[in-house]
């Protein structure tokens, strides 16, 4: 057939008057050009969205971002730059296995540039902006697996990355970071499921590992639940076989676990010894979805979250859901799109139902699954719903675009979404960042109070305050000031230590036995009566069979006179023995002792697996004393004791993760190498 004649003087499509278009010259299709322009648009959109907090020193992040994340990230970064790995720290709870805490994000790759450069309150804003961009790009790529329009995929990306979930949880750095990886996890899984690509499976495993290593277990649990639902939805509409679903989910899950073992194993040990071990939210929880919260999908200031005059449920960060005025109408239209309808509903409906908690019914069933009974606030699953709604909205908008065939409609919808979300979720939103400087909210009080405490506190003793105290500015300001304290702010506080700490109210003598010399009272520090040394020989011992009996006796025990020792083995005492600290570092004590007979040294260090004591290279026996603390038996005579903490599971976890990373990189290289070789074989030869 002959090509249709063109009008005189017309320019052929895709060409200029003098030859091929720029796109053709570069080997780009129109779709490729739109994708690149869309990615550049998303980068610019993120910078504009976060422009004020990134550039205005009169703003700061708030709440947990400062009270927890800033302090621990800064401490870890400082220690690493000084050549130390802080497996144990003395700056919270009288001592704590620092790197076993996943919320630090110590092994999360995207935190390391900040660790090495130096973590500040300003740097945390860049962490959020980086992960907002990560979330947007992930949704953009995932949406293009279902729709053809890059501008509409850009719209979906902003509906998720700039959504009320991320605005509300800007203070929860680990949660924000973990949720940003969900679309990448699903995108890799989609390509593995639909196209059968092994490289995509490995990529999804890497995304899953990053998601977990960012440090928020609940978000990781919900993300992998979403992965399961997504895979079921894809298979249900016939895009892949059920066998491929099993293979893909198993491969991603296994690779994620192996890559994350460096954090999973120490965290499991910490969790088993923490207050979370005994907690169960299977029947009763907090932070459940309320019907009125759906109003924030249409009216951003429904609860007063935007204006700051909040009137909703207790935790205001959980109940702000706004994803743009176009989100719900377009998502409803998206349910008419056969390709994405069931996948979108498969993600959204179970998550919403679960978010209602026990009253909804599904929560009881899900809480019976491993891990789910240990997490609270089911409303935190909303990021899964937000992603599903964004994808459905993109499908709905594409349906309108096809129906009306208006060339500028997709760009207009993306533009309206950007302006709408930037105004409500950044410029005006009181949840996204505080309209005061860090110095105004935290810094002045931290500097003033820390100076008072440091002036009063004798060297080698601890400062005491109530848990979650703001006496040093941020709740974990002790890390910033390098002050050894008895209190802290962490949901993984050691269970035994928590019980000891609570018993102080009924028996104040227990406080002095933590080596605390001053405490926070009223407006100035106040001396603690009866401060005991960090290490001393027990004068008398009382054997108790287990933790229940030792806890019961704490309320009436004077630690200076009697030391409670768990276990049936006999313990000798040396009342005239003497012990002194020769060298002290986090996780390491070198002690000099002298005693006429074998005795028990009682310490003010919390008991935790991994501590080892040795004298003349001979291992000493450790004992749990006074319910929560560490003791060790020494022989008669004099000598030097080395008491040191070694993470029990870190070496094994690090080894597993290293081998898994090596295997993943090797697998990717082999996959891409095979792909390049195949393309070379298929390429036409000269003169062929």
| 366 in Cβ contact with 354 (< 8 Å) | yes
User: Distances from the Cα of 130 to the Cαs of 186, 208, 297, 323, 676, in angstroms?
Assistant: 19, 18, 25, 19, 32
The predicted pLDDT at position 680 comes to 54
Buried/exposed code over 322-340 (b: 16+ C-beta within 10 A; e: otherwise) = bbbbbbbebbebbbebeeb
∠ Cα 326 330 335 (to 5°): 155
CB atoms within 10 A of CB 80: 15
- What pTM value is reported for the model? 0.92
Strand partners, 542: 564
Helix or strand run (H / E) with residue 618: strand 618-619
| Beta strand segments in 220-371, E | none
CA–CA separation, 310 and 388 (whole Å): 28
> What is the SS3 assignment for 357?
coil
Give the position of tokens 């040294």: 601
Which residue, among 134, 179, 170, has the nearest Cα to 351 in the 3D structure?
179
| 463 in Cβ contact with 519 (< 8 Å) | yes
The predicted pLDDT at position 89 comes to 98
∠ Cα 470 474 476 (to 5°): 95
The predicted pLDDT at position 281 comes to 84
Kindly tell me the burial class for residue 186, based on how many C-beta atoms sit within 10 Å of its own C-beta (0-12, 13-18, 19 or more).
buried
CA–CA separation, 540 and 518 (whole Å): 26
The predicted pLDDT at position 400 comes to 92
Kindly tell me the burial class for residue 28, based on how many C-beta atoms sit within 10 Å of its own C-beta (0-12, 13-18, 19 or more).
middle
CB atoms within 10 A of CB 101: 23
Q: Which tens digit of pLDDT belongs to each residue from 195-246? A: 998 999 999 999 999 999 999 999 999 999 999 999 999 999 999 999 999 9
User: Distances from the Cα of 523 to the Cαs of 443, 449, 483, 640, in angstroms?
Assistant: 17, 9, 19, 42
CB atoms within 10 A of CB 208: 27
| 517 in Cβ contact with 457 (< 8 Å) | yes
Ranges of residues in the chain with a pLDDT under 50 are: 1-19, 21-28, 684-688
DSSP string, 420-466: HHHIIIIIS-TTT-BSS-HIIIIIHHHHHHHHHHHHHSPTT-EEE--
The predicted pLDDT at position 314 comes to 87
The predicted pLDDT at position 21 comes to 44
Radius of gyration of the chain (CA): 29
CA–CA separation, 249 and 55 (whole Å): 42
Q: Where are the alpha helices (DSSP H) in 356-436?
A: 362-367, 382-404, 409-422
Which tokens belong to 304?
Answer: 């007063």
| 45 in Cβ contact with 106 (< 8 Å) | no
Phi, psi of 615 (to 5 degrees): -135, 120
Which residue, among 212, 147, 141, has the nearest Cα to 183 in the 3D structure?
141
């Amino acid at each position: 057939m002959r090509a249709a004649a063109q009008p005189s003087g017309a320019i052929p499509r895709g060409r200029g008057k003098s030859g091929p278009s720029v796109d053709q010259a570069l080997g780009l299709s129109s779709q490729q050009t739109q994708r690149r322009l869309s990615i550049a648009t998303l980068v610019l959109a993120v910078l504009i969205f976060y422009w004020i907090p990134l550039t205005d020193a009169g703003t700061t992040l708030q709440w947990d971002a400062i009270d927890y994340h800033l302090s621990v990230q800064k401490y870890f970064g400082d220690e690493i730059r000084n050549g130390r790995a802080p497996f144990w720290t003395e700056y919270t709870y009288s001592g704590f296995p620092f790197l076993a805490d996943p919320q630090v994000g110590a092994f999360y790759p995207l935190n390391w540039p900040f660790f090495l450069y130096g973590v500040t309150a300003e740097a945390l804003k860049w962490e959020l902006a980086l992960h907002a961009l990560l979330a947007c790009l992930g949704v953009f790529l995932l949406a293009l697996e279902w729709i053809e329009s890059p501008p509409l995929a850009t719209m979906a990306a902003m509906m998720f990355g700039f959504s009320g979930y991320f605005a509300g949880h800007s203070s929860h750095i680990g949660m924000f970071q973990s949720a940003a990886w969900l679309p990448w996890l699903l995108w890799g899984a989609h390509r593995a499921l639909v196209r059968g690509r092994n490289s995509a499976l490995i990529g999804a495993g890497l995304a899953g590992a990053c998601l977990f290593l960012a440090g928020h277990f609940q978000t990781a649990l919900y993300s992998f639940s979403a992965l399961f639902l997504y895979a079921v939805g894809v298979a249900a509409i016939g895009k892949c076989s059920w066998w491929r679903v099993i293979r893909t989910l198993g491969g991603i899950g296994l690779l994620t676990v192996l890559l994350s073992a460096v954090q999973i194993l120490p965290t499991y040990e910490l969790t088993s010894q923490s207050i979370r071990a005994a907690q169960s939210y299977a029947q009763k929880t907090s932070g459940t979805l309320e019907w009125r919260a759906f109003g924030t999908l249409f009216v951003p200031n429904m609860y007063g979250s935007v204006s700051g005059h909040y009137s909703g449920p207790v935790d205001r960060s959980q109940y702000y859901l706004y994803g743009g005025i176009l989100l719900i109408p377009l998502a409803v239209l998206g349910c008419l799109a056969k390709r994405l309808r069931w996948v979108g509903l498969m993600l959204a409906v179970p998550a919403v139902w679960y978010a209602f908690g026990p009253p909804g019914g599904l929560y009881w069933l899900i809480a019976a699954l491993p891990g789910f009974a240990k997490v609270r606030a089911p409303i935190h699953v909303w990021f899964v719903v937000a992603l599903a709604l964004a994808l459905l909205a993109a499908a709905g908008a594409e349906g309108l675009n096809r129906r009306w065939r208006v060339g500028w409609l997709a760009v207009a919808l993306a533009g309206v979404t950007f302006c709408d979300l930037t105004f409500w979720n950044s410029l005006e939103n009181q949840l996204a960042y505080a309209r005061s400087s860090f110095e105004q909210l935290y810094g002045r009080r931290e500097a003033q109070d820390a100076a008072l405490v440091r002036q009063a506190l004798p060297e080698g003793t601890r400062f005491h305050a109530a848990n979650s105290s703001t006496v040093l500015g941020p709740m974990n300001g002790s890390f910033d000031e390098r002050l050894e304290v008895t209190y802290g702010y962490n949901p993984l506080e050691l269970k035994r230590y928590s019980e000891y700490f609570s018993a102080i109210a009924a028996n104040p003598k227990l406080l002095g036995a933590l080596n605390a010399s001053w405490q926070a009272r009223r407006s100035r520090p106040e001396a603690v009566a009866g401060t005991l040394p960090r290490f001393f020989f027990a004068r008398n011992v009382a054997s108790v069979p287990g933790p229940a009996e030792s806890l019961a006796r704490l309320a009436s025990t004077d630690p200076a006179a009697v030391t409670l020792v768990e276990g049936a083995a006999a313990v000798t005492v040396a009342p005239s023995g003497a012990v002194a600290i020769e060298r002290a570092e986090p996780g390491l004590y070198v002690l000099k002792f002298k005693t006429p007979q074998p005795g028990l040294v009682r310490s003010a260090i919390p008991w935790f697996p991994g501590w080892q004591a040795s004298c003349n290279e001979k291992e000493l026996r450790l004992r749990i004393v006074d319910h929560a603390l560490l003791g060790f038996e020494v022989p008669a005579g004099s000598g030097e004791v080395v008491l040191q903490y070694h993470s029990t599971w870190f070496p094994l976890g690090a080894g597993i993760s290293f081998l898994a990373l090596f295997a993943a990189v090797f697998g990717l290289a082999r996959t891409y190498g095979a792909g390049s070789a195949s393309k070379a074989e298929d390429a036409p030869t000269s003169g062929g």
